Amino acid sequence: MTSSSTVFQQFYALTKPRVVQLIVFCALIGMVLAVPGMPSADEFKVGLLACFGIWLVAGAAAAFNCIVEKGIDAKMKRTSWRPTAKGELSDTQTLIFSAVLCAIGSAILYVWVNPLTMWLTFATFIGYAVIYTVILKPLTPQNIVIGGASGAMPPVLGWAAMTNSVGPEALILFLIIFLWTPPHFWALALYRVEDYRKSGLPMLPVTHGNEFTRLQVFLYTLVLLPACLMPFVFGMSSWPYLVVATVLSLGFIGYAFALWRNYSDELARKTFRFSLVHLSALFAALLIDHYIF
């Protein structure tokens, strides 16, 4: 029993559950905002199936990522525990697991949601697992910026699931996550710089130094602020969201400014953690605003 549980836990760990949960949550926001008022029974069913399908394909991409980066993961304290890095699961086992998840998730999306959502989700899989992980990540310090397009897709997938289209509202949500991604990951890279240096990955703090990276984090949070206000400007939300978005974005800017002016690993950690709060609370505010105001 223990052995079976351990194997299950190892495969489950390959899907990077916390990351995938955030992906599905962002997709859910796209679904909710695409439907005026409360969803009908049929829309609710489609939404559940879409969440499940997106979860499976996102988990497949995460598992594939673990194969490609197992050597890098083994060198980094943050990722050395992963089953592929420790040799607990073979490449063949992981590849089969990834393929099965992707196939089942894609079938669910194609048959019970719509083909557009399936193709967009599959394109996101290719963008993250192949274009970002295999090509961009080891090639350029701008890997997070370019690869951030894949990470910004979940609200678009959610919107497509409910409307069978990609509207400007979905692209606004995409833009928010796209601009949020670099300061989020670079804050992490700042206090994990030695790990990245050992891994050989050309992350910005390794290639351009601590001070330059801190400036980029700060500049990106400045650009992120107006993007976070766009749902209000475009009529997707009302005043309560505007207040929450402004406070959260100014808080992120405050952390980034303090980090730029007076660096410490602890402040970089706090900035990284606040970035998670920022995105989660921002999208939660959109959700609450949609139904209450």
* Residue 102 identity (one-letter amino acid): C
Tokens of 164: 């069978």
Distance CA(160)–CA(217), nearest Å, equals: 31
CA pseudo-torsion sign 26, 217, 248, 243:
negative
Report how far apart the first and last C-alpha atoms of the chain are (Å, whole number). 50
Of 159, 161, 119, 204, nearest to 30 (Cα)? Answer: 159
Of 234, 291, 284, nearest to 29 (Cα)? Answer: 284
pLDDT digit of tens for each residue in the chain (293 aa)? 345 558 888 899 999 998 899 899 899 999 999 999 889 999 999 999 999 999 999 999 999 989 988 888 788 777 777 888 888 888 899 999 999 999 999 999 999 999 999 999 999 999 888 888 788 777 888 888 877 888 899 999 999 999 999 999 999 999 999 999 999 999 999 999 998 888 788 899 999 999 999 999 999 999 999 999 999 999 999 999 999 999 999 999 999 999 999 999 999 999 999 999 999 999 999 999 998 87
Tokens of 30: 């796209």
Assigned CATH for 1-166: 1.10.357.140
Q: What is the 3-state secondary structure (H, E, C) of 35-63?
A: CCCCCCHHHHHHHHHHHHHHHHHHHHHHH
pLDDT at 1: 37
Provide the whole-model pTM: 0.90
CA pseudo-torsion sign 52, 135, 178, 36:
negative
pLDDT at 198: 84
Tokens of 234: 């475009």
